[in-house]
Structure 1
Amino acid sequence: MIELFDVTKRFGSETAVDGISLRVEKGELCALVGTSGCGKSTTLRMINRLIEHDGGEIHLDGQPVRNFDEVELRRRIGYVIQSTGLFPHWTVARNIGLVPRLLKWPKARVRERVEELMHLLGLSVAEFADKYPRQLSGGQAQRVGVARALAADPDILLMDEPFGALDPITRETLQQEMRELQARLHKTVVFVTHDMDEALALADRLVVMHQGRIVQQGKPIELLHEPANPFVESLLGGLDRGLKEAALIQVSERMLPLGPRLLASERIAYGAPLSQALSVMLWHRVDRLTVVDEEDIPIGELSLRRLLGAKAS
């Protein structure tokens, strides 16, 4: 879906992106991570030509991006930024329907699409359609920004620190919603973040950038197990990498069926990460948890030994 071949970008004498090559597969969520100034946002903006690249080539569906009219290119690629970029004097419904209107969709189709997306993102049409951005919370405004990016049903979604300005609770909620949304829509997403936990939670492919270059890329679990150098290891959490990995593994992957013993007093949801199970064990000073389903019905048990990967409980 997206390919970068030896792409370079310079600003005066400074090289912001230095000969990077990257392939993002259709339906993949690729997270670009690194310290400030590493070139990740510049890379993102070169894909939809908000910034023009100086060297190399960028392809969408096998075609160079410079073969596309830049306005038409941007209309076919959803774009979400940290500040949402909503028009303050437009209602929520009008903001979401922007691109379909530019594409001259019939009014009824635009209205149906706006209502569909508001429902998808948990925004009541009756409550929010006629509100203005100033009347929204940060999380609500960010949902509107995502809805607007999805309005014309683009194949590609570019997201530049979309949750960076939100409080931790709202941010975690939107990350979960993003995971569920991606599981349903299977968009090709390039996601820029400086938050490694966010990147690990969301990404199919993790791309680590440093000083304008890609220093390592692959599945999150691969990078956690085998960081390419001390910089990547440090970025991934150093000695906390074990906890980072535990956040990627669900309790259901390590639990055992219910045994003859009495149920453990403390419970954990089967879909919770192992890191949460470990936290519960530490907090309550126990080494065994009862695993429950969505209806709080016991379905298994998780011991500390199983959590740590031991074969026996």
Structure 2
Amino acid sequence: MVINNVVINTVHRLVTDLRRDPAGLAQRAGIKLRLARLRLTNRLSRRSVTGSGTVVVNLTSFGHRINLVHYALETIAAGRIRPRRLILWLDDDAALAHPPATLRRLQRRGLEIRSCPDFGPHKKQFPYASSAPTLPLVAADDDVLYPRTWLAELLEAAARHPLEITGQRAHTITFDGDRVAPYSRWVAARGTAASFRTLCTGVSGIYYPLELLAALRAEGEAFLRVAPRADDLWVYSVAVRHGIRARQVGDRQAEYPAIPGSQRGTLYRQNVTEGGNDAQFAACVGERERERMLRDDRHDLGALPGVPLGQVASSNGA
């Protein structure tokens, strides 16, 4: 009788969900099926997670998400093109000493798990940029299920414009007169043109050329003071200062499903709904960077003269 009641209640919930949101139910079912396949792959596959792609893919993770990051890693490893190296950066001593079984299996297939200081979300870029890299970087998020074409699309777009930042998802920064508008009023990027007003967001993946990595290395760790929770804003400000524009891969933002249970909203809430992005952006971007954004001249190349961004922000009271 108890089993029958459980079955009846389960069927009732499914029917109710189907009536309320049939598309959402189908999407959730598809994600669950995909997760099951990824778990099976993680247990059984011996296929290398690396390949011939001429980039290094970096991720970072923390807390309970370390137990879920294998899903994102497996989707990258299943891509049509696989990266030359796949690195997971951690500052968790316990996880570094005793990684979950899911990550140990990925290590046997070529995943690198590397230690770094607690740079927050900047772990995706700064440790690698500081290592005198010889390959460009693609930064990915630990809570996303990427499609098979994800890296191939990024690399195909980057091959056409190898000196620019290329992202699957970007915002266009808007202005009130000659002042930058609040973050909440920036708009989704439309089109693929390069611009000093295009800011790529890491959730869907970003390609960083070697020139940008060198600029990040030169700017150092000032991000810890001015933008500790906003790596995308810091990288953008460094790019503008050094004359590196950004573009979106497609005409519209690419959106990929989140891994259930990853609680993606924590950083979003701090940065967006609580105004953290506006404060950190103001701390990152100096007057000369803002003027370059406003002009948005494709012939405006090269690094701006002067002190590093972090020192500019500090002198502005950040």
Tell me which interval the TM-score lies in, with the shorter structure as reference length.
Answer: under 0.3
TM-score, normalising length from structure 1?
Answer: 0.28
Higher Cα Rg: structure 1 or 2? 1
Higher percent of residues as strand: 1
